Structure 1
């Protein structure tokens, strides 16, 4: 009997967190860890790619942390087995002007994201509640720019209680000449170095492990997942994804409330590993 050779088998799966792996209640599916172990059995790497802080992701995945690669802060920081693979520090000169503008936008609050902690200067209860959802290590300081002396700052995050796409982003996108400014959620805008995004982090992993574009699968729901989708041939927009992300993806997964990531991975494994 002749066996059919399987071409471009998946070697890496990357998935966003909010709106993708997490359901609308911000919960992980009880079946996710089992699915990740199935991938591990096939020597397929699983990458958690999020705008969230590394320490926040670590808490969620504590039980299987050594089986994962973490792309945090939208590609600014990458960890595997507790070892840092990538840190992209922003030049402090590029931090001052955006922070000064953010301070003057109604209902918008800046966070400076470092390797060791995140830093904020406002203790507004709504802001702190939402920030703590994504930043496990969060310090309140009198002047947020003082954080430059305390840590390597890799990202500016902005929480916008009025909706980022219509309130703060139109004012902040002018900084795109010096920093990458992207919508990372309904209430969030992120600033990173121009050469940093989730896609660039995926590209680095591809080079490290000699994995091709055709051997990668990715799942996402928002515009900070855009470049990651471009680096993975098997790109899945969630059913609940932003329309602009759906336009560039090759496939659509079920929604985050229907375990869309798990269903798509299980379908792939069932079809290719019998």
Structure 2
């Protein structure tokens, strides 16, 4: 039987208008009644997720910043700080990529050095706590930096990612959305965060269900036997998942969970 359900946010729990399903909270309560943990697993900042789920925050586990920061009931249970020496070279390169903007993501806030309106609009969508500083590298002195995020207004997969993937030897560099590239420590991703939760709560691979749509969900799918790629998912994610859910605009996560509960709990 399932003991843990994990779901990505953008392209998965959120529809194309960035709205959560009106049935989501009720579904989470149904899972709680069956002693099934619900995990929000996102590249978004913890404080952004907290704002969305404020009313049920104590019923959830939050995997934020693609697994580098994990919170449960307001308590930080995982943090993976990046060595400051590994931050400088990527930031210097990002500054020289046309239409690409870096963000340093810390435990207390995210930090940027550019106030371009398009960039700020998109950054604020994912980072509730965002400070503009004269030099983004100054954030190293202000916070524990766990992720570099790059907003690419020209499309991350073709514009910035080909230049940034060379840093894969020191950091995990992944496409996290159409316009986003994320850097974390090599041993950090959503899958590693799920693995930690499995160990903490003695939950097995076979007892986990996961939903995602993009390549930053790749490792999470590998840690969960009941892995669902959304109908709108990246083709490479669909290749490794055991099931396909309806799209994020068709309440795919809710439909799949409801089907599972109806089949297994009469």
- TM-score normalised to structure 1 length: 0.97
Q: Displacement of 1:75 after TM fit?
A: 0.1
Matched, 1:48 2:19: no
Distance of 1:62 and 1:149 partners within structure 2 = 30
Distance of 2:200 and 2:37 partners within structure 1 = 12
Q: Displacement of 1:143 after TM fit?
A: 0.1
Q: Deviations over 1:205-229 (max 9, x none)?
A: 0000000000000000000000000
Q: Displacement of 1:195 after TM fit?
A: 0.1
SS in 2 for 1:232: coil
CA RMSD of aligned residues (A): 0.1
Q: Displacement of 1:176 after TM fit?
A: 0.1
Distance of 1:147 and 1:82 partners within structure 2 = 23
Q: Displacement of 1:15 after TM fit?
A: 0.1
Distance of 2:178 and 2:18 partners within structure 1 = 14
> Where does the alignment leave 5 or more consecutive residues of structure 1 unmatched?
1-8
Runs of at least 4 residues of structure 1 off by over 2 A?
A: none
Q: Displacement of 1:186 after TM fit?
A: 0.1
Distance of 2:237 and 2:131 partners within structure 1 = 33
Q: Displacement of 1:272 after TM fit?
A: 0.1
Distance of 1:46 and 1:146 partners within structure 2 = 36
Q: Deviations over 1:202-261 (max 9, x none)?
A: 000000000000000000000000000000000000000000000000000000000000
Distance of 2:243 and 2:77 partners within structure 1 = 30
1:174 matched residue in structure 2: 166
Q: Displacement of 1:97 after TM fit?
A: 0.0
SS in 2 for 1:86: strand
> Where does the alignment leave 5 or more consecutive residues of structure 2 unmatched?
none
2:264 matched residue in structure 1: 272
Distance of 1:31 and 1:213 partners within structure 2 = 27
1:16 matched residue in structure 2: 8
1:102 matched residue in structure 2: 94
Matched, 1:130 2:122: yes
- TM-score normalised to structure 2 length: 1.00
SS in 2 for 1:130: helix
Q: Displacement of 1:154 after TM fit?
A: 0.1
Q: Deviations over 1:167-186 (max 9, x none)?
A: 00000000000000000000
Alignment counterpart, residue 165 of structure 1, candidates 148, 154, 157: 157
Q: Deviations over 1:41-74 (max 9, x none)?
A: 0000000000000000000000000000000000
Distance of 1:79 and 1:237 partners within structure 2 = 25
Bigger-Rg structure (1/2): 1
1:75 matched residue in structure 2: 67
Q: Displacement of 1:150 after TM fit?
A: 0.1
